[in-house]
């Protein structure tokens, strides 16, 4: 695939959110080893490799074959300093060890769906253009959003919409989906939701929360994040940093809670006078409050509006 075929040209097709903040947070060194667990079009990876010249190396992971092809073109100028694998960040430890990296100096995750994926109607992430109701990050395997919509029970659908989309009309939407199945197109589902709950006050489309919930369920996003965080921290060298960008409250809560817990030496209940948990802090929080995008970045890239960056640093193990 050529640069013209990907739409890459001389620049990446989409802006990397909080780009400067990620480089500042990781502070790449010329001998460092880094992992971009959500490679996308390679924007953050390009910045890390540039800042870690001449010898810094990066492992890029992504489950989206199209994104990987774009990133390969974007990063080919770095030669053997970059390795790219089609894999989830949940496999980071396994793949790092396979290429001979036991510990790394920095890891970045840019969670959620990319604007590049949203702009492809056939991927089914957006209801602004009609397409197949897919929503898989890896379009080669797993159940699609249409599979869930057309096979799950009313209770199961309502639970997904409430739990992952915080949709207050979750049960009503689920009932109407059951009545109108099968549903295979994004526009079909979006129009059904709009008809069911009407246009509500505010800037977001009535279908937004349901589509978000389906995407999270299809890709098992929250469970993957919960499972991966301890492994990613364990993969860091002392003073190595993990930087996580999230785009909605459910992701941010998981990252915040994990960072808070692992930055404490004791996690016993506050009313307990003597510590019996034996827990030891493994990280320190570099960012007590999340870093958000500047007004200038939001103006240039509206997707950055909801981005929150949290950063943690690995501590030296205690004897």
| Whether residue 91 is found in the same domain as residue 31 | yes
- Which of 35-49, 98-112, 145-159, 269-283 has the lowest average pLDDT? 269-283
Give the pLDDT score at 319: 65
Q: What is the DSSP string of 229-252?
A: HHHHHHHEEEEEEEEEEE-SHHHH
Please report, for the domain that includes residue 140, its CATH number: 1.10.150.170
* Domain hosting residue 212, numbered range: 121-218
Residues 101 and 7 placed together within one structural domain of the fold? yes
What pLDDT, in 10s, does the model give residues 145-186?
999 999 999 999 999 999 999 999 999 999 999 999 999 999
- For residue 73, tell me if it sits in a domain: yes
Q: Which of 218, 247, 280 is the last residue of a domain?
A: 218
What does the block give as tokens for 37? 């667990």
* Whether pLDDT at 236 is above 70: yes
Overall average pLDDT of the 266-275 stretch:
84
Clarify whether residues 207 and 249 are in a common domain: no
**Residue 5: pLDDT above 50?**
no
d(CA 88, CA 94): 11
- Residue 48: strand, helix, or coil: helix
Could you tell me if 172 and 300 lie in one domain? no
Same domain, 156 and 226: no
Average pLDDT over every residue of 298-308: 92
The residue-averaged pLDDT of 173-202 equals 93
The verdict on residue 261 lying in a domain is yes
102 and 40 fall within a common domain: yes
Question: Are 107 and 175 in a shared domain?
Answer: no
Neighbouring residues of 108: CB distance < 8 A, sequence distance ≥ 6:
22, 26, 34, 35, 36, 37, 38, 44, 48, 242, 243, 244, 245
Same domain? 112 vs 244: yes
Residue 187 shares a structural domain with residue 60: no
The answer to whether residue 43 is domain-embedded is yes
Residue identified by tokens 């075929």 is 5
Q: How many CB atoms lie within 10 A of CB 182?
A: 11
Same domain, 81 and 111: yes
14 contact partners, CB below 8 Å, separation of at least 6: 40, 41, 43, 114, 115, 116
Average pLDDT, the chain: 92
What pLDDT, on a 0 to 100 scale, did the predictor assign at position 200? 66
Asked if the structure places residue 319 within a domain, the reply is: no
Last residue of a domain, one of 218, 235, 257: 218
- Write out pLDDT tens, residues 221-231: 999 999 999 99
CA distance 162 to 12: 36
Same domain, 306 and 188: no
Q: Taking residues 269-283, report their average pLDDT.
A: 87
Task: Count up the domains in the chain and report the number.
Answer: 2
Q: What is the mean pLDDT of residues 64-85?
A: 96
Alpha-helix runs per DSSP H in 99-248: 115-118, 145-151, 154-165, 170-180, 186-197, 208-219, 221-235
The pTM assigned to this predicted structure is: 0.91
- Indicate if 110 and 7 belong to the same structural domain: yes
**Is residue 148 in some structural domain?**
yes
pLDDT of residue 10: 42
- Going by pLDDT thresholds of 50, 70 and 90, the confidence category of residue 288 is very high
In this predicted structure, the answer to whether residue 12 has a pLDDT above a threshold of 60 is no
Instruction: Among 59-73, 79-93, 239-253, 273-287, name the one with the lowest average pLDDT.
Output: 273-287
């Amino acid at each position: 695939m050529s640069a013209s075929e990907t739409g890459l040209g001389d620049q990446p097709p989409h802006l990397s959110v909080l780009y400067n903040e990620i480089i500042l947070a990781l502070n790449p060194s010329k001998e460092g080893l880094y992992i971009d667990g959500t490679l996308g079009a390679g924007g953050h990876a390009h910045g890390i490799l540039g800042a870690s010249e001449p010898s810094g190396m990066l492992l890029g992971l992504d489950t989206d074959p199209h994104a990987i092809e774009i990133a390969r073109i974007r990063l080919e100028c770095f030669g053997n300093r970059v390795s790219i694998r089609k894999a989830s960040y949940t496999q980071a430890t396994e793949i790092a060890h396979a290429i001979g990296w036991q510990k790394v100096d920095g890891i970045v995750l840019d969670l959620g769906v990319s604007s590049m994926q949203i702009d492809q109607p056939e991927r089914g992430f957006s209801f602004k253009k009609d397409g197949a109701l897919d929503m898989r990050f890896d379009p080669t395997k797993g159940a699609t959003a249409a599979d869930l919509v057309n096979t799950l029970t009313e209770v199961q659908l309502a639970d997904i919409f409430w739990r992952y989309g915080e949709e207050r009309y979750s049960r009503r939407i689920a009932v109407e989906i059951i009545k109108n199945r099968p549903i295979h197109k994004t526009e079909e589902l979006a129009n059904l939701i709009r008809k069911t709950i009407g246009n509500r006050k505010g800037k977001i489309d009535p279908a937004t929360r349901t589509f978000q919930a389906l995407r999270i369920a299809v890709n098992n996003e929250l469970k993957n994040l919960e499972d991966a965080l301890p492994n990613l921290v364990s993969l860091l060298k002392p003073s190595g940093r993990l930087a996580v960008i999230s785009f909605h409250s459910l992701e941010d809560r998981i990252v915040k809670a994990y960072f808070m817990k692992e930055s404490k030496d004791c996690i016993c209940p506050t009313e307990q006078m003597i510590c019996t948990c034996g827990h030891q802090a493994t990280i320190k929080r570099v960012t007590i409050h999340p870093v958000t995008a500047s007004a200038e970045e939001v103006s240039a890239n509206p997707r950055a509006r909801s981005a929150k960056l949290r950063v943690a640093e690995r501590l030296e193990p205690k004897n």
